[in-house]
Amino acid sequence: MSDRFMPRNRSVLLEAGGDPAKFRDLLTATKDYIGGIVVPTELALWAGLSSVARTVNDAAPPVKVVYGGETFPNFGRAMQSGHVDAATLSGGPNTLPHIVPELQEVGVASVVGVTRMKDGPIVRLVGMGVRNFLVAPGEHFDEPVQVLEEELPNNYDLFVPVHSPEEIDPLVSVYPNTRLHVVVGEPIYGAKNPGIAAVEFVTALEAAGYRHPGSSPR
């Protein structure tokens, strides 16, 4: 079973800020360029997770809704009732084997952080059907990606947090066949014009060989 959820032609996952008053304007400015939007805990609490998801589904149907907060009891059912497409997860071998199936049961994908994870737990996640992996750039980047390349050659989605478009080309040059998604937060949501900021990241991806819809903010 595969839980890959991001559109093939959109590889920017936007982390939204926590201000509900700015969320709709942020979505309007970036919806033509992003593949998904991460809803943090503070935004979900202030505006309601299902309300945020409805806003995205009504205004930007191709954009996927990703919950980016902490897990809690009955997490899968809460994600289902919140109408999200995926949830970011972190944790160890004692928690993830319970949460991932809970989300799979209700059709919600998992994006699992594996930056410092050992080979064995990563292989077990692969066996459970996880295909979305979050790896922070830095000294621990190569180890988990090499495991994924061995276990799932060309068959997984790699989510990498970046802070500037200049960080993208080195990632693509090292892993040219990986289905890469960049995770961007404040450089877009905190920009004077989030649409232009989003285009800068899309342009960097295009220059590295990725194809994206749109070329200028509307």
Greater pLDDT, 116 or 14: 14
pLDDT of 39: 96
Greater pLDDT, 33 or 209: 33
Per DSSP (E only), the strands in 63-146 are 64-67, 86-89, 109-113, 132-134
The tens digit of pLDDT for each residue in 153-162 reads: 878 999 999 9
Helix (H) or strand (E) holding 211: none
pLDDT (mean) for 170-182: 80
pLDDT (mean) for 172-183: 81
Taking a C-beta distance cutoff of 8 angstroms, is the pair 9, 112 a contact?
no
pLDDT of 2: 56
- Give the CATH H-level superfamily of domain 12-207: Aldolase class I (3.20.20.70)
DSSP state, residue 129: T
Backbone dihedral region of 191: left (phi > 0), alpha (psi from -120 to 50 degrees) or beta?
Answer: beta
pLDDT of 210: 58
- Name the percent of the chain lying above pLDDT 90: 69
Whether pLDDT at 211 is above 80: no
pLDDT (mean) for 9-26: 92
| Weakest-pLDDT range from 40-44, 184-188, 200-204, 213-217 | 213-217
pLDDT band at 1 (very low <50, low <70, confident <90, very high): very low
The tens digit of pLDDT for each residue in 64-120 reads: 999 999 899 999 999 999 999 999 998 877 789 999 999 999 999 999 999 989 999
**Taking the domains of the chain in order of start, what are their residue ranges?**
12-207
Residues 6+ apart with CB under 8 A from 67: 38, 39, 44, 49, 79, 82, 84, 86, 87, 88
> For residue 201, which phi and psi values (nearest 5 degrees)?
-70, -40
Greater pLDDT, 38 or 2: 38
